[in-house]
Amino acid sequence: MLAPQALSPTPPARPLRPFADYEHTGFVVAPALDAYGIGAIIHAIAAGLPDDVTLVLYGDARDAAPAQKMIQDLSWLLPRGRLKYLGLTGARDMLWTRDAMPMPAWDAEGKLVVTDAKYWAGFEPDEAIANLLGARVVSHGLRFEGGNLMANHLGACAVVDSRALRPLTDALFARDYGCQTVTRLAKRGGLGHIDERARFVAARTVLTDTDPYADLFAAQGFTIVRVPKPREKYESYVNALVVNGTAFVPQFGRADDDAALGAWESAGFQTIGVAARTLAGKVHGALHCLTMNYPPISIRSRP
């Protein structure tokens, strides 16, 4: 099994360096929703989380009852200290955590920074997350979705390019996300987010289901791990949640499900298959979209 990389947060002389989700995770954030099979997905994640990880569920600040019921249902899987609830303004029916939550990075002093972008749905949890983690907020005021940025800890970044992304220049990615290089890729199916098609699973390793991406990253010197590409437009085995050497891999009831688990295992991960066919089919996303990783840090106490 691939050991999570507990890397020094201090970057080589540059303002920020990305927190890569193959690094050591301390917190997984997810919505306290039960629609589209999400309740069963959260249950599977809670059951498989490594012992040093806290699950933070969020819901509408005006109505905590649904979230509290889910927390009660999960309390036999996780002790109280590893299961938190965060009430957020505007969180009602919000499920794409990766797109809406601020993205973590380390500053030059090794302190946690979270980068705030404008989310199209108007859900802005950035200050609340920063307060929870004691992090500084960096904000650029432009629309961006976190599922369309993959980075390794060395600052190699990749996005799927589009007209809407053009205002986010390479200089902005360097300043606010810690990107040393930005590879802008053509859309190859799905919604057009990089986390549907390619992932950094180690500093010099990319997992992908897309031939042109594999060729491009191989030419840049990366080792390539291939994973099957489902025929259904919004299904993706790339869109897994990685937590400290464990990959929670979407399963769609397809012939390639086992091969997808094998691909992730060949990359060095222990795998847990999680049913996600309804989520992908109904609302066009999977496990990486649904969650967010944050590094281990002293969480601020809350009432």
Q: Retrieve residue 80's tokens.
A: 């109280």
pLDDT of 146: 97
Q: What is the pLDDT of residue 299?
A: 56
> What is the C-alpha separation between 286 and 291, in angstroms, rounded?
9
Cβ-Cβ contacts under 8 Å for 162 (sequence gap 6 or more): 187, 192
Residue 43 — left, alpha, or beta (φ > 0 → left; ψ -120 to 50 → alpha)? Answer: alpha
The predicted structure's pLDDT at residue 4: 57
Q: Is 122 exposed, middle or buried (0-12, 13-18, 19+ CB in 10 A)?
A: exposed
pLDDT (tens place) for every residue of the chain, 303 residues total = 545 555 544 433 458 999 999 999 999 999 999 999 999 999 999 999 999 999 999 999 988 888 888 999 999 999 989 999 999 999 988 999 999 999 999 999 999 999 999 999 889 999 999 999 999 999 999 999 999 999 999 999 999 999 999 999 999 999 999 999 999 999 999 999 999 999 999 999 999 999 999 999 999 999 999 999 999 999 999 999 999 999 999 999 999 999 999 999 999 999 999 999 999 999 999 999 999 999 998 655 332
Contact 189, 10 (CB under 8 A): no
Report pLDDT for 8.
Answer: 46
pLDDT at 303: 28
| Cα gap 281→273, rounded to integer Å | 17
Q: CA-to-CA distance for 8 and 75, rounded, in angstroms?
A: 33
Beta-bridge partners for 184: 159
Q: Can you list the domains of the chain with their CATH numbers?
A: 16-292 (3.75.10.10)
pTM of the model: 0.93
Q: What is the pLDDT of residue 66?
A: 81
Could you tell me how far CA 112 lies from the centroid of its own chain?
17
